[in-house]
A = this chain, B = another copy of it.
């Protein structure tokens, strides 16, 4: 006897059935949508430090990784470091583009839009007059960031812009970075 088995719909590598199941689960139990992400960082002297990424809360549960991820940071020599790792403002660009890409790919999948290839280039400008406290009118952070996506999809040019804008519309990091986030900083004794 042959039993019909439902094949999950996979678009852009994303299991769209699971995506809609997640959406239905959140509609049924809104509290499972609350996520809390965490990291722990240790200074290693001068411009070097590393973060350990392990546990997070979400979908009503605590989760942790079998092996925590370790993210290093350093500065290049011109910024008085040893260049042993990407620097913090480069990590910020990675956080932004990785989130834009995943958000675009997931939301395209939910709309049945197939994407074949994606690459992107980012650049952002910082004027050290801010960080070095030499000019109060120059901000410490990025003055602007430009993201250029290259997308291969069976779609006309104007549709490509719409696909890319799905990332900007839904990305948590894009939202955080463009609109700003309240950040509290406190210190305790060791």
Contacts and interface: CB of A to CB of B under 8 A. Distances in A.
Given A98-B88, A181-B178, A185-B165, A152 B190 contact: yes
11 contacts: A26-B129, A33-B128, A36-B123, A41-B97, A47-B105, A49-B102, A89-B172, A131-B172, A146-B183, A148-B187, A177-B181
Interface of A: 12-15, 18-19, 22-23, 26-27, 30, 33-43, 45-49, 51, 53, 56, 58-59, 61, 63, 65, 69, 71, 73, 75-76, 78-80, 83, 85-103, 105-106, 115, 117-134, 139-152, 157, 160-161, 163-165, 167-168, 170-190
Nearest to A148: B186
Contact of A14 (B46, B58, B183): B46
B160 A189 contact: yes
Given A30-B129, A39-B90, A151-B189, A175 B139 contact: yes
Contact of A152 (B37, B180, B182, B189): B189
**Oligomer copy total:** 2
A144 B35 CA distance: 12
A20 to B, nearest CB: 10
Given A141-B175, A152-B189, 4 more contacts: A14-B47, A88-B171, A142-B172, A144-B184
B190 A150 contact: yes
Contacts of A141: 171-177, 179, 181
Nearest to A151: B187
Contacts of A35: 125-128
A42 B117 CA distance: 8
